[in-house]
Amino acid sequence: MSKDKNVFVIPVGTKVKLHDDIFGTVSKIVISYDNSVFYEVCWWNGRSKTIETFHSTEVENVDDVRTKIGFI
């Protein structure tokens, strides 16, 4: 486990890039026991809404918006 008790996350509601032509919105943040961050991202594909979970390394923060959260 990391000694740093602060984690930087992309806030819910932030636009992110998943692939060259796919953009979505962060709808949920999951932080695991080892401070790994996962994001649930949703986007529309025509009339279908898609929701998937991605590791933090799989999403690009389009607007470079981050929030620091800390744990005791």
Has domain 6-70 been given CATH number 2.60.40? no
What is the C-alpha separation between 64 and 15, in angstroms, rounded? 10
Q: How confident is the model at residue 1 (pLDDT cuts 50, 70, 90)?
A: very low
- pLDDT score at 4: 59
What is the C-alpha separation between 43 and 31, in angstroms, rounded? 21
Contact 56, 37 (CB under 8 A): yes
Q: Where along the chain do its domains lie?
A: 6-70
Q: Pick the closest to residue 12 from 24, 2, 3 (CA basis).
A: 24
- The pTM (predicted TM-score) of the whole model is 0.83
Q: What is the pLDDT of residues 18-69, one digit of tens each?
A: 988 899 999 999 998 888 899 999 999 899 999 999 999 999 998 888 888 8
